[in-house]
Amino acid sequence: MNRRFALLLMLVAPVFAAAAPLPPESVLRPAEAYVDQSGRTFHLEDRRGHVQVVSMFYTSCTFTCPLTIDTGLGIQHALASAERDALRLLVVSFDPQRDTPAVLAALAAKRKLDPARWTLARTDEAGARKLAALLGIRYRRMANGDFNHSTELVLLDAEGRILAKTDQLGTLPEPAFLAEVKKALAATR
C-alpha cells in the first residue's frame, strides 16, 4: 500500500508544484492579457519556468527601441548554444494603439527574431503601465504620438523575480549583466 501511495504522489506532485502561487515579488503576477506577434493571447504567468530578459518598446521608434532589440540579440550571441536555447526574451509595447500583432510580426520577421525565443507583445494601456512600473521603466506619450521613455533590460528568474537590470544598449552586452544571465541560466539546470 505504501508503494502505491508513493507512486501516486510522484505522479501528482508536479501538478501541485506547478499550481503553487508565484512569489509576492514576481513580475509575472499581473493578470492582464497579452497578445504576441502571432496573435496568441497569454498571461505573464504563462511564461513561468524560464529565465528571461524583459523590456518595453514601441515599433515606430527609430533610435533606442531598435537598440533594445540589438542588445537582446547581443546577449543571445554571447551565450553558448544550450544557454541560448534556455533563455527567453520578452519585449512589450507601450503603444497598443499602433503595435498590433501584425505590426509586431512584421518587426519580428524583419529583425529575424526566433519565435521560439523571442516574444513581441502588446497589452492594454493599463497593463503596459503596470508592467512598466514593475520593471522600473518610465514613459510618456508626446503630442506627436512618439514616446519619451527610459530603457531597461530586466533579467527575471524562472519565477519572475528581478535578478539584474541594465540600461546599457548595444550589440556588446554589459559584462556584469551578461554574467548574471549566465548565472541564472546555470541555476536552472
The fourth-level CATH superfamily of domain 22-187 is Glutaredoxin (3.40.30.10)
Query: Model-level pTM?
Result: 0.88
- What confidence score (pLDDT) does residue 18 get? 54
The domain segmentation of the chain, as residue ranges, is: 22-187
SS (H, E, C) the chain: CHHHHHHHHHHHHHHHHHCCCCCCCCCCCCCCEEEECCCCEEEHHHHCCCCEEEEEECCCCCCHHHHHHHHHHHHHHHCCHHHHHHCEEEEEECCCCCCCHHHHHHHHHHCCCCCCCEEEEECCHHHHHHHHHHHCCCEEECCCCCEEECCCEEEECCCCCEEEEECCCCCCCCHHHHHHHHHHHHHCC
For the chain, 189 residues long, the average pLDDT of each consecutive 10-residue run is 51 54 95 97 97 98 95 97 97 96 98 97 97 96 94 97 97 96 94
